[in-house]
């Protein structure tokens, strides 16, 4: 079946602009995760959804970052007033349930803030 | 302290030979899981293998095996019969805890493996 998909694959924006990054999880997966991967680093946890609700958003760096999953499937990560330091690869993952299941990752969105 | 440490920034191996990628971890939770992911230049994180803290035997998946030494808190990945397509970044990751807290992955910094023909 189809894996996790993310759009756009690349996004270039200017400092101060607003961006939205989309994640479409594997069909039937109830748990969805966002991670951020800076250059030369491993991914770092941002937020986790179980169904429609954000069960843990402790990894979001500040209040410019927000994510939604209104129907329990597709999720959107929203970044307001982007800064150059937001440049990174944003990875989305999903799992069948959150309880000890393997997380399957999408190809990521490469965000560059100029 | 780093929860996941990968001490090899880069590794080289000849095609068809075996290679071991090191990973040590730090946790006080008795229940945890260890994962290895492969990240080719395309960027996607590909799941390779999983080892649970209570698993009695080392995990194996095809050419991948995990050398789990619990007392030493190490979970090294062994790739046998390396192929050119194995050239990629490899990440070790850990998930701690049980039940509702058992979801967040913590990653190491990765090891870049290059397979030479």
pLDDT tens digit sequence for B48-75: 999 999 998 999 999 999 999 999 999 9
Asked if residue A101 has pLDDT above 80, the reply is no
Rounded to an integer, what distance in angstroms lies between the CA atom of residue B93 and that of residue B91? 6
Pairwise pLDDT comparison (B84 vs B96), residue with the higher score: B84
Is the sign of the CA dihedral B20, B25, B30, B34 positive or negative? negative
Between CA B60 and CA B65, with CA B64 as vertex, the angle to 5 degrees is 45
Asked if B44 lies within 8 A of A107 by C-beta distance, the reply is yes
Contact list in B for residue A106 (CB cut-off 8 A) is: 44
* Residue A55 pLDDT class (50, 70, 90 cuts): confident
Give which of A78, A2, A84 is closest to A47, Cα–Cα. Answer: A78
Phi and psi, residue B93, nearest 5° = -140, 155
- The pLDDT, as a whole number, for residue A96 is 87
Smallest CA–CA distance from B42 into chain A, residue: A107
Chain A residues with CB-CB distance to B under 8 A?
A: 31, 33, 35, 40-45, 48, 55-56, 59, 89, 91, 93, 95, 98-100, 102-108, 110
CB-based contacts of A57, cutoff 8 Å, min separation 6: A46, A47, A48, A67
């Amino acid at each position: 079946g189809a894996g996790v998909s993310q759009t756009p694959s690349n996004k270039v924006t200017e400092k101060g602009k607003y961006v939205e990054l989309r994640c479409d999880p594997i069909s039937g997966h109830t748990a969805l995760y966002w991670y951020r991967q800076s250059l030369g680093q491993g991914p770092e946890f941002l937020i986790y959804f179980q169904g429609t609700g954000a069960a843990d958003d402790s990894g979001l760096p500040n209040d410019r970052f927000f994510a939604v999953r209104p129907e329990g499937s597709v999720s959107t990560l929203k970044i307001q007033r982007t800064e150059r330091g937001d440049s990174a690869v944003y990875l989305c993952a999903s799992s069948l349930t959150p309880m000890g299941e393997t997380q399957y990752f999408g190809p990521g969105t490469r965000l560059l803030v100029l | 302290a780093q929860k996941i440490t990968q001490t090899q920034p880069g590794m080289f191996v000849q095609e068809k030979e075996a290679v071991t990628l090191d990973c040590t971890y730090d946790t006080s939770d008795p229940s945890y899981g260890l994962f290895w992911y492969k990240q080719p230049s395309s960027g996607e994180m590909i799941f390779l293998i999983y080892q649970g803290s209570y698993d009695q035997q080392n995990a194996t998946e095809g050419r991948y095996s995990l050398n789990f030494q619990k007392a030493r808190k190490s979970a090294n990945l062994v790739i046998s019969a390396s192929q050119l397509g194995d050239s990629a970044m490899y990440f070790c990751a850990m998930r701690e805890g049980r039940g509702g807290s058992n979801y967040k992955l913590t990653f190491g910094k990765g090891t870049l493996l290059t397979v030479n023909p």
